[in-house]
Amino acid sequence: MIQFSSKFPSAETTIFSVMSALAQKHEAINLSQGFPNYPVDPRLIELVHKYMLAGKNQYAPMAGVPELNQRLAKKIDSLYGASYDPATEITITAGATEAIFSSIMAFVRPGDEVIVIEPAYDCYLPAIELAGAKGVPYALKAPDWAIDWEELGQLITEKTRMFIINSPHNPIGRCFREEDMQALTDLLAPTNIILLSDEVYEHIVFDGQKHLSALSYPALRDRTLATYSFGKTLHSTGWKMGYVVGAARLMREFRMVHQFNVFSANTAVQYAIAEYLEDPSTYLGLSAFFQAKRDLFLDLMKDTPFQFEPSGGSYFQLGDYSQISELNDVDFARWLTIEKGVAVIPLSPFYSQEQPDNKVVRFCFAKTEETLAAAARRLEGL
């Protein structure tokens, strides 16, 4: 028998796959994995079909279809006041996860350190480990999930190569504020650290907040790669389409990895998205759309023992279950799925190190009204 050693000897199946499988097995309502359960805009489907019929079925240019890159450059300039060359500073990727993975692989080397704010999306640390580097976690804590920037700054060493931020944040739903961005700018100013800004929920912010993109800050642009997801923006997570934006000298390095990773993303879908985004309302209305879902979810859940602090962005809502159970979050999520028929995601798998048991789970409210109402009915009797 052939012998080999695992690159991830302690890795397990992601919590998202575990909970979705458990939900399917027990016919539970799945509020765990972050995907919408309502259809993609039929017009977008028609556009994809249109370009497939037009023969746009072979490899796209490695950096992306020019029409889409140009559309995104205009969008970025309009929203964030930042000018990026569509030919040299924007790359279309096979989802935001590929954008994140390729960014880490392009710049992080063995022996480097990467600062990660936790709880964190679970693709960050595996990519860091594959690069032979060390993830350095900064743990946010309930109930306010605030960042002490002075404390965080103490994690920076001469080995720090990259700093990863995520706003709006998955799973917490917290959005960076102006004071956060200024503190981040001041922290990185004297360093040679690259900033990887995960902004996949850029258009999903609530209660009058504004998404503060790293691209909006001239002092950060030279060091920033920002990643985005069409799946989140267009309710089409299964298409695995995203993009990355950064200064030309950063993008050259990124593309060195991207071209040997996936080379290019789906051609017909790129053309379709380029035409679809001609109408800015396709993304500018998302905050109102998802805030209505968040508010509906919170209203439906008001008769349950869960305690909620309204999410500030993303399509996730944390819920405190301390009045319901003494179980840890993983066991509680399993119990809720099996016994009550509603699947959620525990928070502890988003940390790399053991944390105090905060009795918090994550709900996804990117679901139809009927699904949210049915879930609430199952939880009323807790």
Q: What would the pLDDT profile of 192-231 be if each residue is shown by its tens digit?
A: 999 999 999 999 999 999 999 999 999 999 999 999 999 9
CATH architecture of 42-279: 3-Layer(aba) Sandwich (3.40)
- Confidence band (pLDDT; 50, 70, 90) for 16? confident
161: CB partners within 8 A, 6+ apart: 107, 108, 109, 112, 113, 114, 133, 193, 194
Dump pLDDT digits (tens) for 138-156.
999 888 899 999 999 999 9
Domain boundaries, the chain: 15-40+284-379, 42-279
Residue 10 has pLDDT above 80, yes or no: no
Dump pLDDT digits (tens) for 45-94.
999 999 999 999 999 999 999 999 999 999 999 999 999 999 999 999 99
Residue 100 has pLDDT above 90, yes or no: yes
H/E segment holding residue 333: helix 329-340
Residue 9 has pLDDT above 80, yes or no: no
- Confidence band (pLDDT; 50, 70, 90) for 242? very high
| Average pLDDT of the chain, as a whole number | 95
Say if 15-40+284-379 and 42-279 have the same CATH topology. Answer: no
* CA 69-196-139 angle, 5° bins: 145
Per-residue pLDDT at 353: 87
CATH architecture of 15-40+284-379: Alpha-Beta Complex (3.90)
Dump pLDDT digits (tens) for 21-48.
988 999 999 999 889 999 999 999 999 9
- Confidence band (pLDDT; 50, 70, 90) for 281? very high
Per-residue pLDDT at 300: 97
Helix (H, G, I), strand (E, B) or coil at 372: helix
- Comparing CA positions, the residue from 125, 121, 69, 77 lying closest to residue 243 is 69
Structure pTM?
0.96
Q: Which residues pair with 380 in a beta bridge?
A: none
Pairing of strands 242-246, 90-93: antiparallel
Identity of the amino acid at 126: P
